[in-house]
Amino acid sequence: LGSPAAGAVTMADVDVFGQMRPEHVLERISQAIPHQLGRAHLPLAQYMPELAGHLGGATVELGTTYYRWPRAGERLVLRSALSDATPKTCRLTHWLLDPATGQAWADTEMLIVNFDLNARAAVALSPEVFAVLAAGITRKAD
């Protein structure tokens, strides 16, 4: 499965009723983001060498919907997609799923501002880099 979000719910993840606590759902999603949606595919070195190695993101908006509460021993897998983008922002959608049924345990949508980690400031991607990013957008079905 290869992601920190994947695996079984442990006894340490659950509340007194045996259901996974909300903070552990969010923890699984946040730990897996670098593995799911790395920015290595962006041509920063060619078009924006000043950002190569220090482009990051800052989450400015977060919304989570819980559908079912996994219990100890049940399994999880994370699927993520870039669902929208502007030169300065990205919207990421993450689904925490039951791998046996494909049904969602929860989903999270995040609005992330592109961030220069050295300057500690928001930055816009160049048109060339943004075109590569925008090509990876997965839109929800209407």
pLDDT tens figures, 13-49: 999 999 999 999 888 888 777 665 555 577 877 888 8
- C-alpha–C-alpha distance, residues 14 and 24, integer Å: 8
- C-alpha–C-alpha distance, residues 57 and 88, integer Å: 10
Question: pLDDT-based confidence at 1, cuts 50/70/90?
Answer: very low
- C-alpha–C-alpha distance, residues 3 and 25, integer Å: 14
Task: Indicate the pTM of the whole model.
Answer: 0.80
Question: pLDDT-based confidence at 142, cuts 50/70/90?
Answer: very low
Q: Would you say 137 and 84 are in contact if contact means Cβ atoms under 8 Å apart?
A: yes
Residues 6+ apart with CB under 8 A from 86: none
Out of 67-71, 123-127, 138-142, least confident range: 138-142
Instruction: Kindly report the average pLDDT of the chain as a whole number.
Output: 86
> What is the identity of the amino acid at 123?
V
